[in-house]
């Protein structure tokens, strides 16, 4: 019974998203990109945030891996924007989770 336990539908996916949002730097970035509906370059964020470029890059990578953002080359920069499709899905999941 406990061997073949499975989490209900959303649970694992929602946990993954929550985890990706579970760091101030990443939340800050998402806030900027999704909530304020803007795109930006790694360099822009570096100017604002008190962390090294490489650290920032790691966080961007994680958000990308989680599917929440996407990077579009605009050489020599990379323009990061929200990944609308997945973002909407995340919104929906959280909404369901919170008010159901």
Partner DNA sequence: AAATCATTTCGTTATTTTGCGAAATATAAA
Partner DNA sequence: TTTATATTTCGCAAAATAACGAAATGATTT
Q: Which residues bind a copy of itself (CB under 8 A)?
A: 2-3, 5, 7-8, 11-12, 14-16, 18-24, 26-28, 31, 35, 47-50, 91, 94-95, 97-100
CB-nearer residue toward DNA: 2 or 100 = 2
CB-nearer residue toward DNA: 76 or 100 = 76
**Binds 93: which of DNA, a copy of itself, none (CB < 5-8 Å by kind):** none
Which candidate, 32, 97, 19, 93, places its Cα nearest to that of 63? 19
Residue matched to tokens 């990061």: 80
- Phi first, then psi, for residue 22 (nearest 5°) are -85, 30
* Number of Cβ within a 10 Å radius of residue 57: 15
Q: Residue 83 Cβ, how far from DNA at the closest point, in Å?
A: 14
**Binds 56: which of DNA, a copy of itself, none (CB < 5-8 Å by kind):** DNA
Cis before 26 (ω within 30): no
């Amino acid at each position: 019974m406990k061997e073949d336990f499975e989490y209900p539908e959303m649970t694992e996916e929602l946990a993954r998203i929550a985890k990706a949002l579970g760091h101030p730097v990443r939340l800050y970035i998402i806030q900027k990109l999704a909530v304020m509906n803007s795109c930006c370059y790694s360099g822009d964020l570096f100017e604002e945030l008190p962390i090294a470029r490489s650290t920032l890059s790691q966080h961007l990578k994680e958000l990308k891996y989680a599917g929440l953002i996407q990077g579009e080359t605009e050489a020599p920069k990379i323009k990061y924007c929200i990944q609308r499709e997945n973002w909407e899905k995340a919104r929906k999941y959280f909404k369901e989770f919170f008010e159901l």
